[in-house]
Chains A and B, each alone.
Chain A
């Protein structure tokens, strides 16, 4: 199973797990770019902005992969940049920017939690041929994601319910990484990622049912 997940064969291009994990970086950069642009140019037409965000996402991914000397950096960067920017709607207005009509659109709780779930689990996937480097990479990505969510919480971007769910997801991720470290030290493979993801997904579905919101 892990060998099958090691790379995604996109035609002639292999998207490595590192490329997919690093998709979080252009996603954050596009959000920052959007926040700054909307602050200085609030009345700018959407017809120009949306393709611009996509170009920034693709450009960032391509540049990152080129600097990291990854194989297939150009096509891989375009695919990951496009995918990362495609999640734009999920992260829309996470910075709490008031639009040109003076309205601050709400952040959908389902979209927010889905984003948190994606970024938190992005670091918890064992697919590399070097298990120790893979765990170290997952620990780093997970820590950066949790620190980012802490910054968002401290800026008052989440409701009490959302904060509760985010802490729950983070604790599940922490437990998973601890189990993974124990397994690696004992010379075993990582814990079953599919089973772990099912636990997290069930928690999210329970939350959505509790809130009476479509997941």
Chain B
């Protein structure tokens, strides 16, 4: 297993734990009848845009495997 794969697995673990925690929190809030505000939705959209931007950059900058 090379270093790149280990780093990838570590990042996937962090992402997996993060989304689990965020979803748990969101479900608890939704079950409590809490309203999701416009500001939170805008923040979510900003995160989506930033994430896609990082993906595009990584796709352009990472050399092909081989």
Interface, chain A (partner B; CB < 8 A): 18, 22, 25, 28-29, 32, 35-36, 39, 64, 67-68, 95-97, 128, 130, 132-133, 135-137, 139-144, 146-160, 163-164, 166-167, 170-171, 173-174, 177-178, 181, 184-185
Contact = CB atoms under 8 A, between A and B. Distances in A.
Nearest to B33: A130
B65 A67 contact: no
Interface in B8-42: 8-9, 11-13, 15-16, 18-20, 22-24, 26-27, 29-30, 35-36, 38, 40-42
A159 B41 contact: no
Interface of B: 1, 4-5, 7-9, 11-13, 15-16, 18-20, 22-24, 26-27, 29-30, 35-36, 38, 40-42, 44-45, 47-49, 51-52, 54-56, 58-59, 62-65
A155 B7 contact: yes
B20 A171 contact: no
Interface of A is mostly: helix
A165 B20 CA distance: 27
Contacts of B22: 140
Contacts of B16: 25, 28-29, 144
A139 B48 contact: yes
Contacts of B63: 156
A130 B32 CA distance: 12
Contact of B24 (A28, A67, A139, A160): A67
A178 B42 CA distance: 9
Output the residue of A133, A135, A149, A157 with the most chain B CB within 10 A: A133
Contact of A143 (B8, B24, B51): B51
B1 A97 contact: yes
16 contacts: A25-B19, A28-B12, A95-B8, A130-B30, A133-B26, A139-B44, A140-B19, A140-B44, A146-B51, A148-B11, A154-B8, A155-B7, A174-B48, A174-B52, A177-B45, A177-B48
A32 B23 contact: no
Given A136-B40, A146-B51, A159-B65, A95 B9 contact: yes
